[in-house]
Amino acid sequence: MIQPTAKLTPFGAVNARVNRASDLLGIKENYRKLLTSCWRETKVSLPFTDDKGEMRVYEGYRVQHNGVRGPYKGGVRYHPEVDLDEVKALASLMTWKCAIVNIPFGGAKGGINVDPTKLSDREMQTLTRRFVYSVKNMIGPYKDIMAPDMGTNPKVMGWMMDAYGLIHGYTPAIVTGKPVNLDGTPDRLDATGLGVAMITRRVLEDRKEFLSGKTVVVQGFGNVGSFAALHLHRMNAKVIAIGDVSGVVRDPRGIDVEKLMAHFEAKRTLVGYPEGEFATREQLDVMGIECDILVPAALGHVIHSGNMEKVKARYIIEGANGPITPEADDYLGRQGTIIVPDILANAGGVVGSYFEWAQNIQVHHWERAESKLELDKFMSSALLGVSAAAKKFGINYREAAFVVGVDRVYQAAVARGH
């Protein structure tokens, strides 16, 4: 989640970054207006009957931020704190993210202000179908393609595809991140985490360092954190601690991430893992563990004014969306911490989505090795572009990522004759 600042809402905070990039690029006021506003903002009421037979109403949103580079693309989030401003901020971030990795999509985001952990499977499915029905005319495989985000998963995507198909006919490319046995791809599942690992390796190389033997701490063991840890481990980094809501597993010799994943798969918690040491969250703040690379890969604003001084990592790779508050970001920047921003670091997810969409459209399945190679190509060339902008303007990776994204969208807008 994106932290509002004293003066700015989440969307305002993203636009402050867009304006700063526009300053550096010399973009004039009329185009800035185009880049800092959303093309379409939709709010829908979602009435549905719960398992007790009671009628409930939730609010759903789909915001299409900017489509000059292609169909709108972005996830749908189920979270009790979802509101329009935050969805606008996240939609805008998708615009820049897709441009940074140079895939032919614009940016969108959706959400429902519901706590998915309190819904039964049937309730979740009913609400999902109602949402798709409510936005059915603004989405489409060449219009706006949805995907998972916080609180949603492949199962929900399968229901979305079915709901859309009941109205428009068989259309797998309407949504990505689908179950593998329903036109999904095995590569999408770990694409975000694999992309995090790939970008970490490339950032180190960019700074004349190597990943092999570097110590890594990962916060979050969900879809992003677990696969980021796994792939960093496979690339010979030493994952010395992994934390989530259940506590922290720590092993200075390096955690066997495959083993920990198998334990988590069976027990749904880190508790009880037989190797290394275990500490509760109260006993040990994972953010303060000394390491080379810290990967916050769960919720937003987990590094904030209250714990930023404890952070000892030299590199922070943002696996989650918005894990560092603006205040902590400034502080850590001044301390010399190298921060790789979410719109670059976790972009492997939407690149994986692009591959899934392309395969659905082509009705052709790629090989796993081919996808991995392609993902590395997209992540590496994104880093090259961001690194070049950082050097050219003397700015950090976050500012440089915005410069690359904003410039590509601006150039496309001009080329369209806007």
Query: Where along the sequence are the contacts to ligand GLU (CB under 6 A)?
Result: 73-75, 147, 149, 176, 321, 346, 349-350, 353
Q: Of 147 and 249, which CB lies nearer to ligand GLU in the complex structure?
A: 147
Angle between helices 368-393 and 84-100 (to 10 degrees): 100
Selection from 85, 80, 62 nearest residue 2 by Cα: 85
Non-local CB neighbours of 373 within 8 Å, separated by 6+ positions: none
Per the CB < 8 A criterion, the answer to whether 107 and 93 are in contact is yes
Q: Of 149 and 318, which CB lies nearer to ligand GLU in the complex structure?
A: 149
Fill in the DSSP letter of residue 324. Answer: B
Min. distance of Cβ 213 from ligand GLU in angstroms? 30
Per the CB < 8 A criterion, the answer to whether 131 and 43 are in contact is no
Q: Could you give the C-alpha distances from 169 to 56, 271, 409, in angstroms and in order?
A: 29, 46, 32
Min. distance of Cβ 199 from ligand GLU in angstroms? 13
Q: Of 98 and 237, which CB lies nearer to ligand GLU in the complex structure?
A: 98
Min. distance of Cβ 191 from ligand GLU in angstroms? 8
Min. distance of Cβ 65 from ligand GLU in angstroms? 13
Q: Of 110 and 326, which CB lies nearer to ligand GLU in the complex structure?
A: 110
E strand or H helix at 44: strand 40-49
Q: Of 224 and 316, which CB lies nearer to ligand GLU in the complex structure?
A: 224
Query: For residues 289-298, b (16+ Cβ closer than 10 Å) or e, as one string?
Result: bebbbbbbbb
Whether 259 is catalytic is no
Q: How far apart (Å, rounded) are the C-alpha atoms in residues 294 and 301? A: 14
Region label for 248, one of left (φ > 0), alpha (ψ between -120 and 50) or beta (otherwise)? beta
Min. distance of Cβ 350 from ligand GLU in angstroms? 4
Q: One of 88, 97, 109, 178 is an active-site residue; which one?
A: 109
Catalytic residue numbers, as ranges: 109
